Amino acid sequence: MKQIKKLIIFTLVCLTLTSCNSKTTDTTNDTSENPTANNDEPQSRDVFAMDTYMTLTAYGNNADEALNEAEAEIERLDALLSTGDENSEIYALNQNGTGTISEDTEILLDESEKLYTDTDGVFDITIYPVMDAWGFTTQNYRIPSDAELTELLKNVDASRIQYNKDEKKVTLPDDVKIDFGGIAKGYTSSKIMDIYKKCKVTSGMVSLGGNVQLLGAKPDGSSWRIAVQSPDDTNDYLGVLEAKDKAVITSGGYERYFEENGTTYHHIIDPATGYPARSGLKSVTIVSDDGTLADGLSTSLFIMGKEKACDFWKEHSDKFDMILMTDDNELYVSEGIADVFSSDLTTNIVKK
């Protein structure tokens, strides 16, 4: 009998002065009702969008205004980038095979192209039809045949996307469809940071599923403490990272999966095989100034596996750091964050 499981979880649990999950409403101070609220008290907002539970937290006189704008921005980007919403720009592009794109889509297309090149095709937004065949886009899970995957993989190649920058027009080859799901949440969290800064928020964070992005430090000047969840136990964590002004984004096969005949099939698809990646890694956490980059790399390094991920980090160590957990329960941390990451587990330091 087929068993289907889907976990909607916060991969990163925020250890702050107050809670940073769906319970933050217990400590929220609404400035619309309490205009003299202390600047050190957080304003929080819970949102469900992009198939993810999100929590926004901000400090400062304009925190409530910032949260209103951030929530509106999340809803706008969700409507713009959804592959399932018939009114979205991406849905129309996939259906028509061509179209004029917005500034946001142009940015995401450019970032996707860079990631595709840097990862040698591991990050590929044209994997969408393969994801759909597995049912991860609809939750109608199934195991595609080898023949079906072979046929679908013929059209997985982001380098074939044509883009006329002058006309802002994208043209997709026949049977090619795209999905920015691999970087959309990271891009969204970065946009929220821009809103926070514009509204002069002094400290803040956003948690979008497995994505956490931080603005500044906590109000007392100390670093935020982010617990990186264990891929084996949603009530446990691998360790705690101290960070300021960073995106901390985790990917793992435990986030979304189904089981059939005793085998687990997760949603992180290897574009080289069309099957869920079996790289020897359970989870990958990326720490970077850039939320979009961190989002894309968390998935890409998961597919690469430990050795290739470490080599990739050595070549790009100026842009990100990483935390890897292997199937053998070995923990690897890049040296750039080794001094600010603590764990009860034995930690292997990856050096340049």
Cβ within 8 Å of residue 314, ≥6 positions away: 350, 352
**CA distances, 219 to each of 38, 60, 138, 208, 223 (Å):** 11, 9, 42, 21, 9
Average pLDDT, the chain: 90
252 labeled part of a ligand binding site: no
- Ligand-binding annotation for 295, yes or no, is yes
Q: What pLDDT score was predicted for residue 174? A: 95
Q: How far apart are CA 219 and CA 212, in angstroms?
A: 17
CATH-assigned architecture of domain 3-75+184-310: Roll (3.10)
CATH 3.40.50.300 assigned to domain 89-171? The reply is: no
Percent pLDDT > 90 in the chain is 84
What are the boundaries of each domain within the chain?
A: 3-75+184-310, 89-171
The DSSP string of 40-53 is TSPEEEEEEETTEE
Looking at residue 209, its pLDDT comes to: 78
Q: What is the pTM of this model?
A: 0.89
227 - beta bridge partners? 13, 240
Q: What is the pLDDT of residues 16-61, one digit of tens each?
A: 333 333 232 223 333 333 333 455 689 999 999 999 999 999 999 9
